[in-house]
Amino acid sequence: MTSLIAKTLGAMGLVRMMRTRSPFAFVCLIILTIVCLMSAAAPLIAPQDPYDNVQVDFFDANLSPGSVSANGAITYILGTDALGRDLFSAILYGLRTSLTISGLAAILALVIGSLAGLSSAFFRGFTETVIMRAVDIKLGFPTILVALIIMAIFGAGFFNLVVALVLAQWPYYARTARSAALVEMGQEYMDAARCLELPVRRLILVHLLPNCLPPLLVVFTLQLAHAAAIEASLSFLGLGVSIEQPSLGLLIANGSKEILSGHDWQLIFPGLALVILIFTINIVGDRLRRILNPKERQ
């Protein structure tokens, strides 16, 4: 309980530091929070469920932003797409999918990668050689290419996408965790903890992990943004989520078919939502890096 309170206070301290050090990043953090909350509450606040055919009126197709639906019930603030779906609702549902997939993938990659990195720093020797060689091989290839290869082999789908992202991203956490843990392993408190003959699990999770968290947090934010971008890119190519699932990438793909018919809001708004999501995460991650970096701390 006390550690939970300490952690909350620590996180609040970070937010406060961000507010004083970089007002711009603080604004981005607020926007990001609003976007996350809105997408989480999509079923409650969206004017319609765009993936429920009963609610969608096909005769409302391709209405420009600000139009009112035929039965007068909904004002389409961002217009409708070629199937008559409310674009604002579709974007909220799409953001939800994006955040779920990239969040899930980033958390899983964080857990797997950190454990791999920490254990390679803790055990050294053969364990380290095997894990770090795997990391080196992966880091020779761009993340998007690895994810694309995996999706090309296993096919589109929610589950496959999460697996592909985790496989493509865990090495970044492993590398960071290992280099942080190597420094900590040389500290006296680790020697003391080892002398107490604590179980290895406790040594790694309770003593080593908390002290390696700050750099991992930074990698987490940057990889989260990257995962969201890759999810959208792969969905756009038809290699991401399956076609009946809401996704910003698929919305943009649909919008791109309307590029010559003047319905450009169908292309612009889903992309803008995606950019806002990725940009705010990146800015927050970048400032977090500066705040947590002892060299730049004032």
Partner 1 sequence: MAAYLLQRVSQAVIVLLLVSLLIFMGVYAIGDPLELLISPETTEQDMALARAALGLDKPIWVQYWLYLKGLLHGDLGVSFVYNTPTIELILQRLPATVELGLVAFLFSLIIGLPLGLIAGYYSDKPVDDAIMNGSIFMFSLPNFWQGLLLILVFAVSLNWMPAGDRGEVGTFLGIPTSLVTLDGWRHIFLPAFNLALFNAALIIRLTRSSIQEVMSSEYIRYARAKGLTNRRILLRHAFRNIQIPLVTVLGLELGNLLAYGIITETVFDWPGMGQLLINSIRLSDRPVVVGYLLVVVTLFIIINMVVDVLYTLLDPRIKIDGGRA
Residues at the contact surface with partner 1, assessed by CB under 8 A: 24, 137, 140-142, 144-145, 148-149, 152-154, 225, 229, 232-233, 236-239, 249, 252, 255-256, 259-260, 264, 267-268, 271, 274-275, 278-279, 282-283, 286
Complex with partner 1: residue 58 or 159, whichever CB lies closer: 159
Q: Which two tokens stand for residue 155?
A: 């096919």
Interatomic CA distance for residues 222 and 239, integer angstroms: 23
Q: How far is the CB of 74 from partner 1 (least distance, A)?
A: 26
Q: How far is the CB of 239 from partner 1 (least distance, A)?
A: 7
Q: How far is the CB of 27 from partner 1 (least distance, A)?
A: 12
Complex with partner 1: residue 190 or 268, whichever CB lies closer: 268
Q: How far is the CB of 180 from partner 1 (least distance, A)?
A: 20
Complex with partner 1: residue 198 or 237, whichever CB lies closer: 237
Q: How far is the CB of 240 from partner 1 (least distance, A)?
A: 11
Q: Which two tokens stand for residue 267?
A: 């292309």
For residue 64, give the DSSP letter. P
Contact present, 208 and 190 (Cβ < 8 Å): yes
Query: Per residue in 88-110, is it b (16+ CB within 10 Å) or e — as a string?
Result: bbbbbbbbbbbbbbbebbbebbb
Nearest Cα to Cα of residue 283 among 24, 34, 36, 20: 24
Complex with partner 1: residue 74 or 234, whichever CB lies closer: 234
Q: How far is the CB of 141 from partner 1 (least distance, A)?
A: 6
| Angle (deg, nearest 10), helices 125-139 and 158-185 | 130
Complex with partner 1: residue 274 or 291, whichever CB lies closer: 274
The kind and range of the H/E element at 99 are helix 87-123
Collect all residues with Cβ–Cβ distance below 8 Å to 154 and sequence separation of at least 6.
160, 163, 164
Contact present, 60 and 72 (Cβ < 8 Å): no
Complex with partner 1: residue 1 or 260, whichever CB lies closer: 260
